[in-house]
Structures are given as C-alpha cells and as structure tokens.
Chain A
Amino acid sequence: MSEIEYHAVAKTDEIMEEDVKGVFVGDEEIAVFNVKGEYFATHGICTHENVGLADGFVEGDLIECPLHSACFEIKTGKAVNPPAEIDLKIYPVKVEGDTIYVGIEK
C-alpha cells in the first residue's frame, strides 16, 4: 500500500472562487481549484493532449481545457465532454489555517 504525503502548495487567498492555480509537487504538475470556497486538486495536464489546465477556465465545478475545450469535473476528475475521453487523476486536499495541502502517493 502506498502512503499519502501532504505537500503545502498554496495559500487560500491565492486562489479566488471559480479559479485555478497550477503548482508543482516534485515533477508532478497539479491544478488546484476553488469551488465555492472549497479546494480541490487534479492532475494539471489535460488527458487529451499535453496542455496545462491551469490556463483553462473554471465554470461552476467544471474546468475547461484551454486548447480543445474538453471539460472535466473538478471534484471527480470525470471527463464530461470530448475530445477528452480519459478521466483526470484527482488528489486529496486539506486546508490547515490558510495553507492548502495536496496529498500525493509516496
């Protein structure tokens, strides 16, 4: 069983509601979202092609890819419309004080 290790990635006030910030944990590119005051994290790269989702557009609980407009559910990573067909990996998130932590498998 792999263990989860939490990494501080951002301060809560760095990500406004309906916004996204791209961060790195090691080599792993991660997109951190604020949906109605709650924070979520997904893999930072679209599952269609190699494009960073942090440049995408958040609407409600969806992130739209900046390149071909595929949408993913932020909370579940589910690919909701083409051209993406593969779901996004998601990561556990916790907030302590004003710091957002993302959990990565060790």
Chain B
Amino acid sequence: MSDDRTFVIIGASQAGGWVAQTLRNEGFEGKVILIGEEPYLPYERPPLSKAALLGEVTVDSTYFWQQEALDEANIEVRLNTRVTAIDRNAKEIEIKGGDRIAYDKLAITTGARVRKLPIEGADLPGVFYLRTMEDTLAIRDAVKDGATAMIVGGGWIGLECAATLTKLGCKSIVVEAADRLCGRAVTPEISDWMLKFHTGHGVDVRLSTGIEKFEGNGQLERAVLPGGDTIDCSIAVVGIGVIANVELAQEAGLEIDNGIVVDNCARTSDPDIVAAGDVTNHPNDLLGRRIRLESYENAQNQGITAGKAMLDKAEPYSEIPWFWSDQFDANLQMIGLPQDWDETATRGDEASNEFVTFYLKNGVIDGAISVNNPRDLRVGKRLMQGKKQVSAAELIDPDTKLQTLLKR
C-alpha cells in the first residue's frame, strides 16, 4: 500500500509550502521534500514591510507552519539549500554542491527576487532592498530614530516602507520616477489620494524624480539627485519591482513568457512539473487573459491547485485577483486588474480615508479599490464574480445596502 514516489518542491515559501501541505491534505503518502534557499521555514512576506519591520512580531510568528506541524505532516524541509539545475530526462534536480535528488513529480515555486538599482553607490552599506526576512532584520538594525530614509520607488513596497519607517521615527523621502504613486496598479485618482495621504503623514514624496547616485565613505551618506542636489541620508530602501525566478525552468527548457507558463491547473509544459505563485504566468478565465500576479492569495491558492495537479486531481483555478496593503492607518484592498473601464463610482468619502471606488465597464464591476472598507470591497467582489448589472448611482448611494444588489 505504501507509496514509494518522491515529490520535490523547489522554493520553500508560501506557494511551495501550500503545495506540500496540499499533498498531505489530499492523502499523498509518498515522500515530500520542500527545498529552499532561505534559512527560515516558509514565512509570510506581507509583515516584512509592516509589523515585522516595526518589530511588533517575532520571526517565528511569521511562519505559516511551525516545525512541529511540518514534522507531523511528514514534510521534509531542507533549508539553506539552493537548487542549481533540473534534469528533466533523468528526472532529477541538482543542489549546490552537486548532490542530486530524484523526483517523480516536481513543483517549481521559486517566486521572485528584487530588481536591483543600476546606479553608482547602490552597493554601499545602508542601501537595502526588501524581499526577505533577512532584509527586514537588516533594515531594522540600521534604523535610527531621526534618521533620514530615502525610499526609491513609490509602489506598494516603497509606500509601506515609507509608512513604517516614519512610524519608527525616520524622516521618509520617497522618490518615484513616474508622475504618480503606484502608477502600475491604481488609477490617477487613487494615486492622488495616496499622495495626499502620505504627505499628510509627513512623508516627503517627490514624483518624476530619480536618484543619480548614492555616495558615502564606506557607508551611505547621501543621495545625489539628477540636477546635482544632494540629500543626506543614512539608509535607503529600494523598491522598484521584482523579477520572476524563471532561470531554473528556463534552462530546463520549460516554456517561459513573463514567468513560467502554466495552464489553469498550474501545469507546465512538462507533465511531471507544476509551478505556482509569483513565478507563474497563468490564464485567468474570469479576466479572459494571462497574468502574472505577485500576491498572497495567488501564492496560496495556486499552490493548492498545483498540489492537486501533482496528484492528478487537477481543478481549474481562476479567481478575481485580490491584494491588500497597509500604510499608516489605512488598509487598502484591491480586486481585479481593471484596464478599460467606462465609469467609476466612489462610495464613502475620500477625505475621511474610508471609501471604495468601483470601476465599471458596461454596467458591470471590473475592479475596485477600498480604503478602510474591506466589507464593501468583498460585496463588490461577489458582484463582479456574478457579473451583476449595477449603476454607478446606486453604488454611490449610502442608502443602498450593497448586499441587496447581489440578489439580482
């Protein structure tokens, strides 16, 4: 009765962890080996720019599963272990140092790494990126009350970091190359709201600006702006996006196109290999196009999908993308990836920092973003899922109970 197969997972983070758990939850009795380069058990990344950076939570508390739970599930976790190659013919992987591990099925959940800032001085001590627990611990160590922190990039990570460092007593300066904040993710109206919100909390936001170079004598001392002006700063955090870790898959000859190409059940072009999380380019049937997502929910649910697919219990995965961010006292949440809406409807009051803006296309919700209003956003998600016909006027009207629109 015993199953002598070995299922290997490369990348011991959220997606990989969920693949492993799902194998067990679905009754797989063979060997499960979860391999990761980092020194920690799979942990949540969202706190890295929030509670963990503030020092409010311990490293352990960010683990998705404690060691005992992984032991109990008989998941063999190999940390500090980098996989260097996938040999699809031999069905083996190679780890740094040369050891090889045979697999019957393989999951690639290698996520993404930060994009580096290609300027002079970017390698000075004091210049940080923010993707891993090590990054967060290092930034925390370097932060001193009253320090000036230069944040390069006004996207989600940059803004969360600006908020957290401000809370820690730093003077946060955000430089953003585009003419508005979070330009790739939100509409100009929301960018404006973010600008007001951050400025109101004391963040110095400079749009359409870059950093020419960093300078310092063995340690970051100042940033030089394009015109030659300088700003003294002792730390800098760069958040200018990530690059999917596709190299292993690419070298093994799997199909790559802005991520590892998978189908709606997380299967790659090799029948014995699945992939999930930030690293995949997957079809989303609800949106009718292929996407690569960098989100908590996708890492979890596509990970679960991939685990099932490894057991030949494939179930199509398609969800309305959902993302959240916490900045100062604002909880932002977004659904969908609206592209070409013809109307917007804002319910609540932007000035009071409690509202939700819906994007409508032909009378159907195509996406929404909420600030301190998670509940209305969730109703919006159901309305979007059900493709319910709604009007901007009724969405805006505070007397409309949104739930009643679901009954249509």
Contacts and interface: CB of A to CB of B under 8 A. Distances in A.
Interface string A52-73: 0001110100001011110000
Contacts of A68: 296-297, 324
A66 B300 contact: no
Contacts of A55: 374-375
Contacts of B297: 68-69
Say what secondary structure dominates the interface of chain B: helix
A67 B331 CA distance: 9
A23 B199 CA distance: 35
B128 interface: no
B322 interface: yes
A83 interface: yes
B80 interface: no
A37 interface: no
Given A18-B403, A67-B324, A82-B300, A59 B374 contact: no
Contact of A82 (B304, B375, B378, B403): B304
Nearest to B375: A57
Interface in B227-274: none
Contact of B378 (A19, A66, A83): A66
Given A18-B403, A82-B18, A82-B304, A66 B296 contact: no
Contact of A64 (B18, B378, B401): B378
Interface string B296-317: 1100100010000000000000
A83 B300 contact: yes
A94 B61 CA distance: 37
B304 A56 contact: no
Nearest to A16: B401
A73 B403 CA distance: 19
Contacts of B18: 82
B374 A56 contact: yes
A59 B322 contact: no
B322 A69 contact: yes
Nearest to A56: B375
Interface residues of B, number: 16
Say what secondary structure dominates the interface of chain A: loop
Interface in B369-408: 374-375, 378-379, 382, 401, 403
A66 B382 contact: no
Q: Which of B18, B322, B331, B403 has the most CB of A within 10 A?
A: B403
A37 B403 CA distance: 16
A56 B378 CA distance: 8
A57 B322 CA distance: 15
Contacts of A16: 401
Nearest to A65: B374
Contacts of A57: 374-375, 378-379
Contacts of A59: 382
A18 B324 CA distance: 24
A51 to B, nearest CB: 9
Q: Which of A18, A64, A69, A83 has the most CB of B within 10 A?
A: A69
A85 to B, nearest CB: 9
B229 to A, nearest CB: 41
Interface in A28-61: 55-57, 59
Contact of A66 (B304, B375, B401, B403): B375
Contacts of A64: 378
A19 B401 CA distance: 11
16 contacts: A16-B401, A18-B403, A19-B403, A55-B374, A56-B374, A56-B375, A56-B378, A57-B374, A57-B375, A59-B382, A66-B378, A67-B324, A68-B324, A82-B300, A82-B304, A83-B64
Interface of B: 18, 64, 296-297, 300, 304, 322, 324, 331, 374-375, 378-379, 382, 401, 403
Top-4 shortest CB links A-B:
A66-B374, A57-B378, A57-B375, A55-B374
